[in-house]
Amino acid sequence: MSARSDRGAAAAAMLSASLLHTRRLGRVLGPTVDLCCAAGPRQALRAWRAERLLEASDGDPSLTIYRPIWEQAAAALGAECSDRGSGFLQIRAGGREALVWRNLVPLDNPVTLRLAGDKPAVHRILASAGLPTPQFATFDRNDLRGAVRFLDEREGPCVIKPAFGTGRGRGVSCGARTRADLRRAAVWAARWGHKMLIERQGEGTEYRILALDGQVLDVVERRPPRMTGDGRRSVAELIYAENARRAESDGALGLFPITINLDCLLALRDAGLTLGSVPGRDVEVAVKHAANENAPADNQSVLGDAGPGFLADMCAASHALGVRLASFEVVALGIGGPLSQSHGMIVEVNTTPGLHYHYQVAGEPVVPVAIPILRTLLGDDEQASHSAIPPVSS
């Protein structure tokens, strides 16, 4: 990194410490101020404008993506699918019916959903069931002392995230190595609440596992979003171009845009780059640590590689939390055996899991996970729990 970047990051860290104690407006503006200090006002303004334009967009690619997923599942089960408007679909078969909305289905009760959104509680429950989870500590945005001790006592990077109720990587910063990183990451997380979590960052590949009633439906290997250099455009320009491609594709090339946040800045720092760096032609650059905003080309179904011990761990996690439908984000060196044998751990649980992740994958197979979910919704639980899921071509 350049001396200017180092000075900018230092200034961002100093300012972050003061923003943590401000009122809500200051915390909302905090990430933009941090980005301005670290990358310059022009870059921060452009990122802010891009995010506002996306939020104001009339289009909703999730409508385009989820309707065919449910229509194909209904057709496979001989059911009728009708549009109720506003993204709601009514699916009927043999006197039974189910109402779905995009990825939301009526399986888990509100208390279970609330529990799954409490990240510290989830870690404790899974750990008490003998399942590997990250070492962690909770802290308040107004008191970072516990987080500082946690960071100082451990080697390697840490993850800072809101402690409750966020998804899609909102407010999550990976790759934090210094106290300055911690202060900045706390500012990015503070927008989503005053309670935060610091975790030891796992080593290995990220996997997303979808389970229904204790049965694993699919396992997707996920890589962080990457940009391929052309020798002319900066990293930031490559990201904006990719987001434009995704928007024009109605979500087919990625349902979510790549946001320029602290996780992005720290991932680039680890590669010795900044937003203004110009990668050479055909040089690949990982622009995030987390995989939430990657493209279909970065995902692959690897269900066939999952060993019995790994599948048993996922089943045990489902039962420990009492969830019917959930996705588990795992970081591990492999999935051929139990998590304990691959230095793996469950880092996140989502009880309103996105189904599109299992359809937007590279190559084959594509596992049609909506079919067993719909079969269960329509009341045929016995058949759902014992039926294999036939792969389909993409």
Q: pLDDT, tens digit, for every residue of 15-44? A: 655 666 556 655 667 777 778 877 777 777
CB atoms within 10 A of CB 83: 11
State percent of the chain over pLDDT 70. Answer: 86
Instruction: Say which residue, 382 or 252, is predicted with more confidence.
Output: 252
- Beta-bridged to residue 140, according to DSSP, are 143, 195
For the chain, what is the mean pLDDT? 88
Kindly report, residue by residue over 344-385, the tens digit of the pLDDT: 999 999 999 999 999 999 988 899 999 999 999 998 654 444
Report the distance separating Cα 37 and Cα 44, nearest Å: 9
Per-residue pLDDT band at 309 (split at 50, 70, 90): very high
Q: Which two tokens stand for residue 28?
A: 């909302």
pLDDT band at 295 (very low <50, low <70, confident <90, very high): very high
Beta strand extents in the chain (DSSP E only): 80-85, 88-93, 96-101, 136-140, 158-162, 173-176, 195-200, 205-212, 215-222, 226-228, 284-286, 299-301, 325-332, 345-350
For 200-222, what is each residue's pLDDT tens digit? 999 999 999 999 999 999 999 99
**Whole-number pLDDT of residue 15:** 60
pTM, two decimal places: 0.88
CA distance 60 to 161: 27
Asked whether the predicted pLDDT for residue 168 surpasses 70, the reply is: yes
- Residue 184: helix, strand or coil by DSSP? helix
pLDDT(393) > 60: no
Q: How many CB atoms lie within 10 A of CB 145?
A: 9
Measured CA to CA, the distance from residue 44 to residue 102 in angstroms comes to 32
CA distance 160 to 173: 5
Looking at residue 363, what is its pLDDT? 85
Q: Residue 37: its pLDDT value, please?
A: 79
Record the tokens describing residue 343, joined without a space: 């230095």
The pLDDT score that the predictor gives to residue 304 is 95
DSSP 36: H
